[in-house]
Amino acid sequence: MSAITDSESTAQRIFAAIRSIPAGSVAAYGEVAERAGLPRRARLVARLLSQRSEAGLPWHRVVRADGRIAFAPGSEGFDLQCARLRDEGVAVLAGRVHRERRVATLDEQLWGPSTRS
């Protein structure tokens, strides 16, 4: 059988986490890493996207923790990510996504933004 390395299974978990981001929403690198079971591996997620990104992977839904596009303004990646997000109905102003468009925590998805009785 194939010898699946830890790195590959890790990568698959990260890709799965990214795919789990609903269209019209975005998540931070740190959030993706955490949901993939890799806390504090935000840079690993970034490096993975940079080197091994897959076809069909909604990488454009991954932004920085502050909602900003990770690419430099004016770069190809920036322009492409911005366009694809807007295509999904996400407002991107000054290279930034509004806070409410973020998929904060898993808890928030399950419990809702204002479950406080």
Partner DNA sequence: CTGATGACTGATA
Partner DNA sequence: CTATCAGCCATCA
Please report, as residue ranges, which positions from 70 to 109 form the binding site for DNA (by CB under 7 A).
70-71, 77, 81
Tell the smallest beta-carbon distance from residue 73 to DNA (Å): 11
Minimum distance of DNA from residue 59's CB (angstroms): 4
CB count in 10 Å sphere of residue 38 = 17
Least Cβ distance, residue 105 to DNA (angstroms): 11
Segment lying near DNA (by CB under 7 A), choices 44-52, 84-92, 98-106, 108-116:
44-52
Report the alpha-carbon distance of residue 71 to residue 77 in Å, rounded: 6
Length of the chain: 117
Q: What is the DSSP letter of 41?
A: -
Count Cα neighbours of 98 within 13 Å in the Cβ-side half-sphere. 7
Q: Where are the alpha helices (DSSP H) in 57-113?
A: 76-87, 106-111
- 42 is a contact residue toward DNA (CB under 7 A): yes
Which of 14, 35, 36, 59 binds DNA (CB under 7 A)? It is 59
Tell me how far, at minimum, the Cβ of 112 lies from DNA, in Å: 21
**Paired sense of beta strands 62-63 and 92-93, if any:** unpaired
Name the site residues for DNA (rule: CB under 7 A): 7, 28-31, 40-47, 49-50, 53, 59-60, 62, 64-66, 70-71, 77, 81
